[in-house]
Amino acid sequence: MTSSPSPWIIVGLGNPGAEYAATRHNAGYLVVDELARRGSATWKMHRSRCRVAEVRLGSGRAVLAQPHAFMNESGGPVASLVSYYKEPLDRVIV
């Protein structure tokens, strides 16, 4: 039996708040929102302080993430998420 390949963790950075909603500051949020939409994924809040959604990408799978922190404060939530999934850093795209 073959094991399922490790998921990619795809992190879209952004800033919380309505004033950033459709700005270049939220380009990362917008990209992972679109990937979630295309994959018919459902967002849920994770204990890492990231919104996450799991999707299939081709023959693989990915965990999409949006840290609920300003971009310059997103390191902690992202590190917590990567630690939770126990994935190597070469499987993380920011």
Longest dimension (CA), the chain: 50
Is 68 among the catalytic positions? no
Distance CA 75, CA 89 (A): 13
Task: From the candidates 6, 16, 20, 25, give the one annotated as an active-site residue.
Answer: 25
The residues annotated as belonging to the active site are 25
